[in-house]
Chain A
């Protein structure tokens, strides 16, 4: 079944992922792609405390994840791939290796320089730019915090930037 979900979520492994998405996707493995967490045993332990026994977690660097991605895609396991921010997902997707895949945006919270797009999603100009680049590289990007929520396409998320997005794509 390979990778069922690529998701950006600041909280990484938490209730929305384990219970909300887990109930419909029934993952065997949740892979957290994060250079800091990959080297922090105590934080890995924190994140795995809430996992049900049938789900395991793995923590990898971006470099390791890019190498492992082909094997995940052909794996018999049901895998969810998480990053805590768009920047990390963009690094994972470098050179178009996520082309044809769909990236789900979950919770990204308010912070200085970010504008509110949805109640659970706040984006900085740099993050919007990164999303545009992901779309241009052939990735489908949309926001949906839970499977039962409305899926919001990237063009709608970027709102007034849609025209700019279109012109960028035409220019390529």
Chain B
């Protein structure tokens, strides 16, 4: 496996969240062929979910993005990580992470993963509390 090959992403979620996230990414940045795929846990046993992730993650550097770090989808990804320490697993995926992934995926996988986690965390804000207001009254003086 080469760390210099562009990284592929697998988004795994409960229900249709992964599919919906990829739909949003496709509308914002577009998704080059084969760069990001969505996996739902619907109808899949724990073993079947691991098998599907294994199938999709093989053949080059890959990041598995799971919806919740503590959820069963992430648990399936962690099982795969136990077999294949070369993959990267990121829990708590959000749209900003995936947008940055599509643009930055030529970076070495470990560097990319660290960047994505930082981007994803930084993207979570309370717009009314954390960001400057334009033309409005600050919350604290209301």
A residues near B, CB below 8 A? Answer: 10-11, 14-15, 42, 46-47, 49-51, 109-111
Contact = CB atoms under 8 A, between A and B. Distances in A.
B75 A111 contact: no
Contacts of B14: 15
B131 to A, nearest CB: 31
A11 B72 CA distance: 7
B58 interface: no
Contact of B71 (A10, A14, A110, A111): A14
- For B72, B75, B78, which residue has the most chain A Cβ atoms within 10 angstroms? B72
B44 A109 contact: yes
B89 to A, nearest CB: 11
Contacts of A42: 82
B140 interface: no
A105 to B, nearest CB: 14
Contacts of A14: 71-72, 75
Given A14-B75, A15-B14, A42-B82, A49 B45 contact: no
Interface residues of B, number: 15
Interface in B1-58: 14, 43-46, 48
Nearest to A111: B45
B43 A109 contact: yes
B45 A110 contact: yes
Contact of A49 (B44, B48, B70): B70
A42 B85 CA distance: 14
B78 A109 contact: no
Contacts of A46: 75, 78-79
Interface in B60-118: 68-72, 75, 78-79, 82
Contacts of B43: 109-110
Nearest to A114: B45
28 contacts: A10-B45, A10-B46, A11-B46, A11-B72, A14-B72, A14-B75, A15-B14, A15-B68, A15-B71, A15-B72, A42-B82, A46-B75, A46-B78, A47-B75, A49-B69, A49-B70, A49-B75, A50-B68, A50-B69, A50-B70, A50-B71, A50-B75, A109-B43, A109-B44, A109-B45, A109-B48, A110-B43, A110-B45
